[in-house]
Amino acid sequence: MDAAHIHLMLNHVPVLGAVFGAVLLGVGLLRRDESWQRIALWTLLVTGVASVVVYLTGEPAEELVEGAAGFSHDAVERHEEIAAWAMYTGGAVGAAALGAIGWFRSRSLPRGLMTGIFALNLALVGVMAWTANSGGKVSHPELRGETTPEARSSASYGGEARAE
């Protein structure tokens, strides 16, 4: 297993973790249920760690796919810039979650802190969506607008033009 495998296997974890964490924390805040909030914190901790791992495997993954058909150096560079934001935001959310888990292990979670983590997590959801969109453009030229509708149509039929 190489860095590209690890990157591709894990790249959805921080994206989905941010969304699930937001849902869990939002429900926990609305219901004033600390169990939901604590589950959300653990979810966000895993999301933060995964954000760092996915970012760190990105560069080695890039080196393995350079020169492949449909590869766009510009798309990779743009994705890399956006992914740095995702890693820092994910790391911040993960660190806040770790702090809350550790500091308030046997005490009630402060509502203000949890609301702040929720707000930061909502920002993370947006950054992760932005990062995922730019990552899709790395290996999918159709997302970059580099193919014509005719080419996409014929590609979906095994590369042969469809007789009308």
User: How many Cβ atoms are within 10 Å of 105's Cβ, its own excluded?
Assistant: 8
Assign 141 a pLDDT band (cuts: 50, 70, 90).
low
At how many degrees (to 10) do helices 12-31 and 34-65 cross? 170
User: How many Cβ atoms are within 10 Å of 8's Cβ, its own excluded?
Assistant: 14
What's the rounded Cα separation, in Å, for the pair 91 and 125? 13
Percent of the chain having pLDDT more than 70? 82
What's the rounded Cα separation, in Å, for the pair 22 and 19? 5
Q: Is 23 exposed, middle or buried (0-12, 13-18, 19+ CB in 10 A)?
A: middle
pLDDT digits (tens, 9 = 90+) for 142-155: 554 555 555 444 44
What's the rounded Cα separation, in Å, for the pair 52 and 91? 7
The whole-model pTM stands at 0.79
How much is the pLDDT for 161? 44
Higher pLDDT, 63 or 51: 51
How much is the pLDDT for 100? 94
pLDDT digits (tens, 9 = 90+) for 76-118: 888 888 899 999 999 999 999 999 999 988 888 999 999 999 9
Rounded to 5°, the CA angle 13-39-45 comes to 45
